[in-house]
Amino acid sequence: MARSVLLVIAVVVVAVVVVLGMRGADAARPARESPGGSWPACWNTYEEARANVAAWMARLGHGPSDGGAGH
């Protein structure tokens, strides 16, 4: 009986030490803060990506290629 009580106490102590010893992992590259504070930073990243894709699409040539009909 005494042995099982000591075992339970040891398991509880180890569990408490493990839980208290845990801390969040530090990010390798922390996320940017959003300028307004109301939207998450990923929304700003989405808007930047959207603007970049729009700029790339605007640079694409229009009309048929110089080599003739495509596929």
- What is the per-residue pLDDT across 2-44, written as a single tens digit (0 to 9) for each? 888 999 999 999 998 888 887 776 766 766 665 555 555 566 7
Residue 39 structure tokens: 């939207």
Nearest partner of 44 among 55, 62, 31, 57, judged by Cα: 31
Nearest partner of 48 among 60, 61, 27, 34, judged by Cα: 34
State pLDDT tens for residues 50-64: 899 999 888 887 766
Residue 27 structure tokens: 């990010």
